[in-house]
A and B are shown apart, each in its own frame.
Chain A
Amino acid sequence: MDLIPLPALLLAGVLLGLACAAPVVAWARWRRGTPGRRAALSTGLFALVAAQLSLGLLLLDATWPLTGYPMYAPRIDPGATINVLLLSGTTAGAQEVQIAGSAMFSDPLDLQARALDALEDPARRAAMASAILDYYNATQADERERLVALRGAVERRSVDAGGVITRVVEPVFVYPEAAP
């Protein structure tokens, strides 16, 4: 909220107030001669657009389905490191497989957003790794293709001012811990 300029904050407040007042406005319009259906529809459209603009100006993302659109908005400083979760595993048929993020959710980064913190935390790791293993195995009809072990690594990616990209992979965990 500290990021939002005062004029935008005030505008958002006014718009939200007007959106909340829409039923009263529709009633007032009907009283002044606007046909009921037209008054309800037109004022409803106003309320929808005002609420959408208001939540957008406030950068709110938790108010789905009406939200702000702050994706890819944060500034990332030069030289910063981007961490990306990489998963691989061993199947019951002793095959080594890479598990693409898109094998778990529609957006490859969704799994990382939910799981990376837990996988890096030794206290929560086993439960999260077990859940991922079960979720992956639920789609494998052939028992030999089901995972018996899961490995996680984090690839740390950065780019310097000249455009040179560095990628360093650091192993994070093996589940179960006794697995090779």
Chain B
Amino acid sequence: MTAATPPGTPRVARQRADSSPFMRFWTAWDSFWFAPQPALALTLLRVIAFGTLLAYVAWEYTWVVRLQDVATWLYRPVLLYELLGIGPIPPGLASVLRLVLLACGVLGLLGIWTRLSAGIAAAVYFYSIGQVYSYTNVHHGDYLLGLALVALALSSTPSPLAVRVPWPRRAAVPIGMGDLVPGWPIQLVRVQIAVTYFLAGYAKLVVAGPGWGDGVSLQHYLLLRGQPMGYWIASQPLLCAVLSIATLVFEVGFPLALFERRLRWLLVISAVGFHLVSEYVLGVGFNFFLPFLLVFVDPLAVLRWLGSQRARLVGAPRLLGAR
């Protein structure tokens, strides 16, 4: 409370009266994070998160199930597991957890018990990939899905586009697609994507220096990964230098997508291209990260554009008939 605010002043009035640098910072911070977003954008995030979770269960979870066949002396727990005293996954548990993830994914996708489903799925997902990382290297493309699930679990905004259920829902006020809601879960995913790229570029500049852009390191990483297309690119030093510089510029510059709407499209399309090329020439898949790039898209603007295109198509025969 500031000295100018008398005791007993209501909380909101006190907040308005407080214009200290401390509160000014937090006002600016909150206006970034809690800027309203259309409810449709939050629904899109929900669909992406639970859809990606189901894709993870279908394509990647088999590696968690197979951990029960790995000799336990190969288990080297990640630091968090070591601190928490978590040991190797017990035989049979992975199969049970797969059913849990599947159920949460389907329920969340349908908008039924979304927060509960997201919370349980996040816990199981982090446990599962932590188990995998305790036998392998830590991979960096998997964290975002867990974070998105945590955000959905903590978001109190009711979800539009939810399937009707026969039992009464607690959310009293129905919400429309265009209604504005606190957009912090979307901002959180956007910020994490930007931070991921930026820190990857930062690491290259700090560890290797600007010399990373000469292409030599990329040539050797292509040899290490051993993809057929990668060998061809590794044999083209100039192309490797161009790709290396482009990678550095893209990674360090990606945070601009958070603030510059005009650059956003370019950076997001570059990100999609970056991952597709990485998958093809390096065999490095960010399959559970890539779909989240859609959170940079304004779904209402897309719907409006689709609507205008539809109107043009529907109107075209009339115009032809009138001629």
Q: Which of B197-243 contact A (CB under 8 A)?
A: 198-200, 202-204, 206-209, 211-212, 216-217, 219-221, 223-226, 231, 234-237
Q: Would you give the 0/1 interface string for B123-164, flagging 1 where the beta carbon is closer than 8 Å to chain A?
A: 000100010110111111001001000000010000000000
Assuming the A-B contacts A45-B188, A74-B217, are A84 and B224 also in contact, with contact meaning beta carbons closer than 8 angstroms in the complex? yes
Assuming the A-B contacts A82-B224, A107-B137, are A42 and B33 also in contact, with contact meaning beta carbons closer than 8 angstroms in the complex? yes
When the two chains form their complex, are residues A3 and B237 in contact, meaning their CB atoms are under 8 A apart? Answer: no
Measured in the bound complex, the distance between the Cα atoms of B283 and A74 in whole Å is 19
Our pick among A73, A108, A110, A114 for the contact of B207 (Cβ within 8 Å) is A73
Q: Would you give the 0/1 interface string for A1-13, flagging 1 where the beta carbon is closer than 8 Å to chain B?
A: 0011100100000
- Residues on B with C-beta less than 8 A from A32 are 1-2, 14-15, 18, 22-23
When the two chains form their complex, are residues B135 and A114 in contact, meaning their CB atoms are under 8 A apart? Answer: yes
Assuming the A-B contacts A35-B11, A70-B207, A113-B137, are A49 and B71 also in contact, with contact meaning beta carbons closer than 8 angstroms in the complex? no
When the two chains form their complex, are residues B223 and A75 in contact, meaning their CB atoms are under 8 A apart? Answer: no
CB nearest to B143 among chain A residues: A65
Measured in the bound complex, the distance between the Cα atoms of B192 and A121 in whole Å is 41
Number of contact residues on A: which range applies?
35 or more
Please tell me if B303 contacts chain A, counting CB pairs below 8 Å: no
When the two chains form their complex, are residues B206 and A63 in contact, meaning their CB atoms are under 8 A apart? Answer: no
- Residues on B with C-beta less than 8 A from A162 are 237
Assuming the A-B contacts A33-B13, A135-B71, are A82 and B143 also in contact, with contact meaning beta carbons closer than 8 angstroms in the complex? no
Q: From residue A38, how far is it (CB to closest CB) to chain B in Å?
A: 7
Number of contact residues on B: which range applies?
35 or more
Our pick among A42, A71, A110, A139 for the contact of B200 (Cβ within 8 Å) is A71
Our pick among A35, A52, A131, A157 for the contact of B71 (Cβ within 8 Å) is A131
- Residues on A with C-beta less than 8 A from B15 are 32-34
Please tell me if B301 contacts chain A, counting CB pairs below 8 Å: no
Q: From residue A68, how far is it (CB to closest CB) to chain B in Å?
A: 6
Q: From residue A152, how far is it (CB to closest CB) to chain B in Å?
A: 16
Q: From residue B230, how far is it (CB to closest CB) to chain A in Å?
A: 10
Q: Would you give the 0/1 interface string for A120-140, flagging 1 where the beta carbon is closer than 8 Å to chain B?
A: 000000010001001100110
Q: From residue B91, how far is it (CB to closest CB) to chain A in Å?
A: 11
Measured in the bound complex, the distance between the Cα atoms of B200 and A134 in whole Å is 37
When the two chains form their complex, are residues A165 and B133 in contact, meaning their CB atoms are under 8 A apart? Answer: no
When the two chains form their complex, are residues B234 and A163 in contact, meaning their CB atoms are under 8 A apart? Answer: yes
Please tell me if A57 contacts chain B, counting CB pairs below 8 Å: yes
Q: Which of B47-55, B72-80, B111-119, B265-273 participates in binding chain A?
A: B72-80
Q: From residue A169, how far is it (CB to closest CB) to chain B in Å?
A: 13
Please tell me if B173 contacts chain A, counting CB pairs below 8 Å: no
Give the tally of cross-chain contacts (CB within 8 A): 185
Tell me if A's interface is mostly helix, strand, loop or mixed: loop
Measured in the bound complex, the distance between the Cα atoms of B140 and A56 in whole Å is 12
Measured in the bound complex, the distance between the Cα atoms of B199 and A123 in whole Å is 40
- Residues on A with C-beta less than 8 A from B79 are 62-64
When the two chains form their complex, are residues B26 and A34 in contact, meaning their CB atoms are under 8 A apart? Answer: yes
Please tell me if B254 contacts chain A, counting CB pairs below 8 Å: no
- Residues on B with C-beta less than 8 A from A31 are 1
When the two chains form their complex, are residues A29 and B235 in contact, meaning their CB atoms are under 8 A apart? Answer: no
Q: Which of B257-302 contact A (CB under 8 A)?
A: 283
When the two chains form their complex, are residues A159 and B220 in contact, meaning their CB atoms are under 8 A apart? Answer: yes
- Residues on A with C-beta less than 8 A from B167 are none
Measured in the bound complex, the distance between the Cα atoms of B16 and A106 in whole Å is 54
**Pairs A–B under 8 Å by Cβ, sample size 15:** A29-B23, A32-B23, A33-B15, A52-B192, A56-B202, A75-B212, A105-B136, A106-B60, A109-B225, A110-B135, A114-B135, A131-B73, A138-B69, A139-B69, A159-B219
Other 14 A-B pairs with CB < 8 A, given A56-B199, A109-B137, A163-B235? A3-B207, A32-B22, A33-B13, A34-B15, A34-B26, A45-B184, A56-B195, A56-B198, A62-B138, A67-B138, A127-B73, A139-B66, A159-B234, A165-B234
Interface residue ranges, A against B (CB under 8 Å):
3-5, 8, 28-29, 31-35, 38, 41-42, 45-46, 48-49, 52-53, 56-57, 59, 61-78, 80, 82, 84, 105-110, 113-114, 127, 131, 134-135, 138-139, 157-159, 161-165
